[in-house]
Amino acid sequence: MTDAPLPTPATTVYLERLLPATVAEVFAAWTDPTLMAKWLAPTGYAEVETDLRVGGQFRVTMIGDDVRLEHSGEYLLIDPPRRLSFTWRSPYTGGMPVRSTSSLRLVAQRPSSFCRTSNSQTRRGRHTRVVG
């Protein structure tokens, strides 16, 4: 019998939406701190800092109802205006070495004022201890 930590498998969630915006507008909404601050908080507002380069960091602080939730990550891939991939850490990822990676793929749709966004998010869980 062993008592060894084993990594839990990654979980991937896929989300696809059709947005009434151009590919460039949606890419900017995910990368421009001023635009990100307008929509990245479910209530209240957000403060956003970005260093938009591969390996660069970002920080989003959601502020509302006397609560401050800080989220941070690192840009893994930047291919304007079609692809963006980054890690995501928040109080909801436990602050542990849990890593959530989000990848956006943007495709223009007809009419040209619409954009299809495909977002896959992979979360790597904490280690699970198996006793057997």
Q: Using 50, 70 and 90 to split pLDDT, how confident is the model at 1? A: very low
Token pair of 34 as six digits: 């001023």
* pTM (whole model) above 0.85: no
> Which CATH number does 3-131 carry?
3.30.530.20
In the chain, what are the domain boundaries?
3-131
Q: What is the pLDDT of residues 6-19, one digit of tens each?
A: 445 667 777 788 88
Distance CA(90)–CA(123), nearest Å, equals 12
Contact 85, 103 (CB under 8 A): yes
What is the pLDDT at residue 118? 73
Q: What is the pLDDT of residues 105-130, one digit of tens each?
A: 888 877 666 777 777 777 665 433 33
Q: Using 50, 70 and 90 to split pLDDT, how confident is the model at 97? A: very low
Edge-to-edge, what's the strand order for the sheet holding 57-64?
A: 11-19, 114-124, 99-109, 83-88, 67-79, 57-64, 45-50
Residue 86 or residue 12, greater confidence: 86
> What is the pLDDT of the chain when averaged over all its residues?
79
pLDDT over 90 (residue 46): yes
